[in-house]
Amino acid sequence: MDVNKMTVSVNKAINTQEVAVKEKHARTCILGTHHEKGAQTFWSVVNRLPLSSNAMLCWKFCHVFHKLLRDGHPNVLKDSLRYKNELSDMSRMWGHLSEGYGQLCSIYLKLLRTRMEYHTKNPRFPGNLQMSDRQLDEAGESDVNNFFQLTVEMFDYLECELNLFQTVFNSLDMSRSVSVTTAGQCRLAPLI
């Protein structure tokens, strides 16, 4: 896969239309990280997007970045750590908006930062968090204190995820069948 294909896919996945990110574009981004063994191209494209001035772009960025952290090459985390402070600043900025996607972006950015911190502290955990019993035993070094600490950190991470779920559901107009509207699908897609 060449850089141009990855660039096009990132731009198609992260756009201003209030529709869910297309899986084929997200999948191409994921495959691109495996091909280049990192997220350099992803970040070079994203850094040119006005994420701080367009909530829809920011929301879709969060969704795609979340997918890359989960299913992309393991170096996505390493390549993304330098942007941690920018994500925090953007989260604070979007947190001042109470309508539309502002609050959603703020909470999603906090979740992504928490996830990055979790994986930095616990590098044995893969992005998708799926581990065999043996791998889990190794991560906890067969020490109950380590397992307790891992559990606390996992619950902190899950609390951020639940907060995102709650905020998304609170933002929906339940008087309509939101799951069939493009706007509803755009909000609900990251929760899957």
pLDDT per residue rounded down to tens, the chain (192 residues): 678 899 999 999 999 999 999 999 999 999 999 999 999 999 999 999 999 999 999 999 999 999 999 999 999 999 999 999 999 999 999 999 877 899 999 999 999 999 999 999 999 999 999 999 999 989 999 899 999 999 999 999 999 999 999 999 988 877 665 778 898 899 999 998
pTM, 2 dp: 0.94
User: What's 65-103 look like in SS3?
Assistant: HHHHHHHCCCHHHHHHHHHHHHHHHHHHHHHCCCCCCHH
Q: Among candidates 77, 101, 81, 105, which has minimal Cα distance to 91?
A: 105
Contact 116, 81 (CB under 8 A): yes
Cα(89)–Cα(113) distance, integer angstroms: 11
Q: Among candidates 109, 86, 113, which has minimal Cα distance to 97?
A: 109
Kindly tell me the sign of the dihedral angle through the C-alpha atoms of 159, 89, 101, 74. Answer: negative
Cα(177)–Cα(160) distance, integer angstroms: 26
Q: Which residues contact 156 (CB under 8 A, 6 or more apart)?
A: 114, 118
Contact 27, 6 (CB under 8 A): no
